Amino acid sequence: MAGSTEGPQQPRSSQATAGAVAAQPPDDSADVRFASPPEVAGGLVAITETLKQVRQQTGLVRGVRALLRVNQDGGFDCPGCAWPEPRADSSEGRSEVEFCENGAKAVAWEATTRRIGADFFRQHSLAQLAAESDYWLGQQGRISEPLWLPPGASHYQPISWDDAFQRIGGALRALASPHEAAFYTSGRTSNEAAFLYQLFVRQFGTNNLPDCSNMCHESSGVALRETIGVGKGTVQLEDFELCDAIFIIGQNPGTNHPRMLTTLQRAAERGCAIVSINPLAEVALSRFRHPQNPLDIVGAGTSITGLHLPVRIGGDAALLKGIMKELLEREEQPGPDKFVDREFIRTQTVGFAAFREALDAVSWDDIVESSGIERLQIRAAADIALGSRRIICCWAMGLTQHKEAVATIQEVVNFLLLGGHIGRPGAGACPVRGHSNVQGDRTVGIVEKPDPAFLDRLERHFGFAPPRHHGFDTVGTIQAMLDRRLKIFFALGGNFLSATPDTELTAEALRRCELTVHVSTKLHRGHLICGEQSIILPCLGRTEEDLQRSGPQLVSVENSMGIVHSSRGTLSPASPALRSEVAIVCGVAKAALSDRPDVRIPWDELTADYDRIREHIEAVIPGFESYNQRLRRPDGFALPNSARERRWNTPAQRAAFTAHPLPRIPLAPGQLLMMTIRSHDQFNTTVYGLDDRYRGIRGGRRVIFMHPDDLAERGLQAGQHLDLTSHFRGETRVARDFVAVPYAIPRRCAATYFPEANVLVPLGSYADKSRTPTSKSIILTVAPAASPAS
C-alpha cells in the first residue's frame, strides 16, 4: 500500500485484511516529471487538451454536439463548477461556446462511450481494482447496470432494480432506529432529487444528511449567517462589470472555476484592479489567453492580477487585519481619500467599536510575521482598496478549510463592511462554490441541522412530524460508523471515501457498516471499500435525456450567485438500465416506507412528472413562487437575498462586525504547514489525467511542493522521494513516496494533491463552528523515503 496511518488508530476489520483492498491510490511517484510552470494560461494548449479529451472519450462528433448544449437555454448545466453563465440580455452576452477546458473534460468524462457491467466485474475483484489508480478506475466507462456485492464476496454481481430496492428497503426497516442510517449527498444532485431525498429521509425519521458542503463552504455559510444574516454570497455576475477592485483570496480560478477567468479578463481590460492573495502564484491569475477568442489564442495574453500577495498558509486573517489597520490609520491622516463608510457603519451595523479595539491591539510585527507579507505590500493592497468605490471579495477552499476558517471569513466581511461594500451595486461577498449544485442542495433542505421554520413548513404541507434533533455531519458520520452507531451508509452521488479526511480511518468506518449504497455514474475507489454488503445504483448523467412517463424531464440547479435555472440532458442514456436520481430516490423511499401507512407521498406520480416535485418545493421553500413558469425562462430566476438589499436577518437586524484574535499555528523546528490542492487534470476527486501543466507536473500525482530553501535546509534534493508525516495531538499519520518539487511557495509551507494526501488529514482536526476538515492546515514533517519507488 502506498501510505499508512501510524499511531493511535482503530484496528482493521477482518474483511479488509482478508480482501487486501487498499483504501488509498497506488504509488505513481516513479513516473513523475516536473519542469517550470508556463507563464500564461489558456490559449491554443487549452483547445488542444479539450479536443484530445473529447476525441478519446466520446468521439469528436458526439462530443462537440454535447459541448454545444452546455450552459445553453434548452441544454444542460455543466456538471463541473457552479460559476454562472452570463444572462442572455446582459452586455457580456452568452457565448454559443459557454464552457471551459475543465468543463469540457467533465462532459467528456460523463458522456464517454465506454461501458462496464457484469462481465467487467466478473473479471475484476475488489482487490484487483483497488490496485489500480483513481485515474484508471474512472477511465473504464459508465456503469451500465445495478450491482450487488454479497456478504463475503470479492466481486460485484448484477442485481435487478426491484431486488436492489427491496434489499435496501428491507435493511432500512430492520434497523432498531432510523438514526442508524446516514444519507450523504453530492453537489451534482438536482434540486428535485435533493428535495425528495431529504423528504424521504425525514419521513424515515432522521436528519442524518451529511453532504459535501460540510467539507467545502460550510465555514462560509456559518460566517455569513452570523454577520449578514444569509449564508450565501451577495453579488451577481453583473456586479463584476461595475466593480473597481476584486480581491481573490484562497482561490485558484484557472483550475477550479476556469469560466471565471473570462469575467476577470473583462474586468482587467476595463481597468479594474485585481488582487490575488494565495500562497501559490497561480499562472491563470497572472496572464490569460481566452481560448475561444481567435485574437487571443496566441500572444502574451491579458495580465489579470495587478498585485499578488504570497501569503503564508493560514495567514489570510493576519493579512486582512493588516489591510484594515492600514486603512484605519489613513483615516486619521489629512486628505480627501477615505475608505471608511461612517454613515453605513452608523446606520447599518453593530460591533464596530469592539472590532476596532481588537484590531488596534494587534501589532504590526505580529501581522507581518503571521501573514508573511511585508508592510509595504500591505500598503499597496490598502492603496487599491482606498481608490475603489466598489469592491468584491471572492474566496474558496483556501479560506474555508482551516481551524480558524469562520473567523477568517468574518474578517473578509469586516473589510467589506468597513467600506460599505455589501448591498451596493458592483460590490459584495462572493464565496465561489466548487460543484454545480452544492448550493442548491442546501437551499432545498439537504442539511443535518435544519431550520425549525423549514421543518414547520414541511410538516404543514406534507402532514407528518419531521425529526427535530440535529443529525450527523460528515465528520460525525465517520465517527458514528467507527463507533457502530451507524449501520447503513447511503450516498447520492460523490466519492465519500476519497473526499473525506483521514482515509484509512474513513475506510475502516465504511467497512463497519452492514450495508453501503452508492448512486453513481462511474466506478471510483469508494465502491471498493464496502460494508458487509454493498449496492451500486447506476444513474443518468447531467448530459443525458431523462424520459419519464409524462415525457422528457428537466431539472433545476442553483449556481454560486443564487440563480436557479433549468438543465435538460440531450444525449441518449449510456444504458437502458439507467434510472434518474429522482426515480432512484422514489424507488428507495417506496421500499423503505412500505410498512408506513401514514406516509402518503405519491412517489410514482413524482417520478412521472418533475413539475409535480417543483410544486411541492414552491409550497415549502420561500423564493420559489411560480417555480415551473420562471424555471422555463432562458435565464431562470434569482432567489431572494436579504443582505443584497441591506436587510439584515441577524439578531440585531443589522450587519455585524466581529472581533477575533490573531490566529496562530505554532510550528516546531523542522515542521511545515501543508495544504491539499487540486491539479489542473482533476475536478474534486475525479482525476481526468496525470498532468498538472499549470504547475509543470507530468506523469503522476504524488508530489510535494516546497520552497527550495526548505529543501536545502533539510539536505533534500529536487526529485527526491519523501515520506510525509502529519502531527496532531500526539498522533502521526504517514503517506509514503512523494516526489519533492521545488516551487515558489512561502517558507515553511508545502502543498500536495488530494485525495493522495487526505490520509494525512486527521478526522479530529476541523474548523471551529463549521466542523469543516482542516485540509489546508496540516502540520507536517518530511524525510527521505524509507523505500523510494524505482
Residue tagged 429522482 (cell numbers): 582
Residue range 7-30: mean pLDDT, rounded: 59
Q: What are phi and psi of 496, to 5 degrees?
A: -55, -45
For residue 104, give the amino acid letter: A
Q: pLDDT per residue over 480-539, tens digit each?
A: 999 999 999 999 999 999 999 999 999 999 999 999 999 999 999 999 999 999 999 999
**Contact 600/616 with Cβ under 8 angstroms?**
no
CA dihedral 264, 267, 272, 277 (to 10 degrees): -10
For residue 678, give the amino acid letter: R
Say if residue 255's pLDDT is above 90.
no
**From CA 192, how far away is CA 609, in angstroms rounded?**
11
For residue 542, give the amino acid letter: R
Q: How many CB atoms lie within 10 A of CB 716?
A: 19
Residue range 21-49: mean pLDDT, rounded: 87
Residue range 565-575: mean pLDDT, rounded: 95
Rg (CA), the chain: 25
Residue tagged 476527486 (cell numbers): 685
**Contact 432/469 with Cβ under 8 angstroms?**
no
Residue environment code for 365-379, b if the CB has 16+ CB neighbours within 10 A, otherwise e: eebbebbbbebebbb
Residue range 681-701: mean pLDDT, rounded: 93
Give the burial class of 332: count Cβ atoms within 10 A of its Cβ; 0-12 exposed, 13-18 middle, 19 or more buried. exposed
**From CA 338, how far away is CA 323, in angstroms rounded?**
14
Task: List CB contacts of 529: < 8 A, sequence separation 6 or more.
Answer: 21, 23, 497, 507, 510, 511
User: Residue 41: what pLDDT?
Assistant: 77
For residue 662, the 8-state DSSP code is P
Nearest to 280 by CA among 318, 254, 317, 244: 254
**From CA 766, how far away is CA 477, in angstroms rounded?**
14
In Å, what is the CA distance from 80 to each residue of 492, 644, 661?
17, 26, 37
**Contact 789/722 with Cβ under 8 angstroms?**
no
| DSSP β-ladder status, 533-538 and 147-149 | antiparallel
Residue tagged 481494482 (cell numbers): 129
Nearest to 24 by CA among 774, 736, 741: 736
**Contact 371/322 with Cβ under 8 angstroms?**
yes
User: Residue 375: what pLDDT?
Assistant: 97
**515-520, strands of its sheet edge to edge:** 157-158, 147-149, 533-538, 515-520, 488-492, 181-185
Say if residue 790's pLDDT is above 50.
no
218-431, what's its fold? Dimethylsulfoxide Reductase; domain 2 (3.40.228)
Say if residue 162's pLDDT is above 70.
yes
Of the CA atoms within 13 Å of residue 572, those in its CB half-sphere come to 5
User: Residue 7: what pLDDT?
Assistant: 32
Residue range 665-678: mean pLDDT, rounded: 96
User: Residue 97: what pLDDT?
Assistant: 73
**From CA 151, how far away is CA 385, in angstroms rounded?**
62
Q: pLDDT per residue over 178-194, tens digit each?
A: 999 999 999 889 999 99
In Å, what is the CA distance from 540 to each residue of 29, 89, 427, 438?
35, 32, 39, 18
User: Residue 1: what pLDDT?
Assistant: 32
**From CA 161, how far away is CA 19, in angstroms rounded?**
27
Say if residue 578's pLDDT is above 90.
yes
- 680 bridge partner residues: none
Say if residue 370's pLDDT is above 80.
yes
**From CA 158, how far away is CA 117, in angstroms rounded?**
8
**From CA 144, how far away is CA 584, in angstroms rounded?**
15
Say if residue 15's pLDDT is above 70.
no
**Contact 216/439 with Cβ under 8 angstroms?**
no
In Å, what is the CA distance from 65 to each residue of 54, 61, 75, 83, 592?
11, 6, 11, 22, 40
**Contact 24/497 with Cβ under 8 angstroms?**
no
**From CA 645, how far away is CA 219, in angstroms rounded?**
23
Q: pLDDT per residue over 192-201, tens digit each?
A: 999 999 999 9
User: Residue 5: what pLDDT?
Assistant: 33
Average pLDDT, the chain: 92
Range 691-694, long-range pairs (CB < 8 A, 24+ positions): 692/753, 693/38, 693/45, 693/49, 694/37, 694/38, 694/41, 694/254, 694/255, 694/282, 694/283, 694/284
User: Residue 129: what pLDDT?
Assistant: 97
User: Residue 174: what pLDDT?
Assistant: 98
Q: Cα(first)–Cα(last) distance of the chain, in Å? A: 15
Task: List CB contacts of 94: < 8 A, sequence separation 6 or more.
Answer: 71, 72, 85, 86, 87, 88
Copy the grid coordinates of residue 742: 521545488
Q: How many CB atoms lie within 10 A of CB 45?
A: 17
**Contact 361/398 with Cβ under 8 angstroms?**
no
**From CA 426, how far away is CA 239, in angstroms rounded?**
4
**From CA 412, how far away is CA 368, in angstroms rounded?**
18
For residue 92, give the amino acid letter: E
**From CA 696, how far away is CA 706, in angstroms rounded?**
14
**From CA 8, how far away is CA 773, in angstroms rounded?**
19
H or E element that contains 738: strand 731-742
Say if residue 294's pLDDT is above 90.
no
**Contact 17/515 with Cβ under 8 angstroms?**
no
Q: What percent of the chain has pLDDT over 70?
A: 95
**Contact 699/30 with Cβ under 8 angstroms?**
no
User: Residue 25: what pLDDT?
Assistant: 92
Would you place residue 44 in the very low, low, confident or very high pLDDT band (cuts 50, 70, 90)?
confident
Q: pLDDT per residue over 102-148, tens digit each?
A: 888 888 899 999 999 999 999 999 999 999 999 999 999 999 999 99
Task: List CB contacts of 746: < 8 A, sequence separation 6 or more.
Answer: 279, 310, 311, 312, 313, 372, 707
Q: How many residues are there in the chain?
A: 790
Say if residue 330's pLDDT is above 60.
yes
User: Residue 703: what pLDDT?
Assistant: 97
Would you place residue 71 in the very low, low, confident or very high pLDDT band (cuts 50, 70, 90)?
confident
Nearest to 514 by CA among 182, 136, 123: 182
Higher pLDDT, 13 or 471: 471
Q: How many CB atoms lie within 10 A of CB 8?
A: 9
User: Residue 406: what pLDDT?
Assistant: 98
User: Residue 336: what pLDDT?
Assistant: 72
* CATH assignment of 3-39+666-784, among 2.40.40.20, 3.50.50.60, 3.20.20.450, 3.30.70.1400: 2.40.40.20
| DSSP β-ladder status, 637-638 and 672-677 | unpaired
Say if residue 92's pLDDT is above 70.
no
**Contact 19/127 with Cβ under 8 angstroms?**
yes
Sign of the alpha-carbon torsion through 254, 676, 475, 520: positive
Q: pLDDT per residue over 647-669, tens digit each?
A: 999 999 999 999 999 999 999 99
**Contact 212/183 with Cβ under 8 angstroms?**
no
* CATH assignment of 115-216+459-634, among 3.40.50.740, 3.20.20.140, 3.40.50.720, 1.10.10.60: 3.40.50.740
461: alpha, beta or left? (left if phi > 0; alpha if psi -120 to 50) = alpha
User: Residue 85: what pLDDT?
Assistant: 86
For residue 142, give the amino acid letter: R
Q: pLDDT per residue over 429-478, tens digit each?
A: 999 988 889 999 999 999 999 999 999 999 999 999 999 999 999 999 99
**From CA 193, how far away is CA 629, in angstroms rounded?**
19
Task: List CB contacts of 544: < 8 A, sequence separation 6 or more.
Answer: 569, 570, 571, 572, 573, 574, 578
User: Residue 38: what pLDDT?
Assistant: 85
Q: pLDDT per residue over 584-632, tens digit each?
A: 999 999 999 998 877 789 999 999 999 999 999 999 999 999 999 999 9
Residue range 328-339: mean pLDDT, rounded: 85
Distance of CA 122 to the CA centre of its chain: 34
Copy the grid coordinates of residue 671: 515542521
**Contact 581/492 with Cβ under 8 angstroms?**
yes
Say if residue 292's pLDDT is above 90.
no
User: Residue 740: what pLDDT?
Assistant: 98
For residue 387, the 8-state DSSP code is T
For residue 138, give the amino acid letter: G
User: Residue 455: what pLDDT?
Assistant: 98
Would you place residue 78 in the very low, low, confident or very high pLDDT band (cuts 50, 70, 90)?
confident
Provide the residue ranges of all domains of the chain, joining segments of one domain with +: 3-39+666-784, 115-216+459-634, 218-431
Number of helices (H), then strands (E), belonging to the chain: the values are 29, 34
What is the reported pTM? 0.94
**From CA 174, how far away is CA 488, in angstroms rounded?**
11
User: Residue 789: what pLDDT?
Assistant: 52
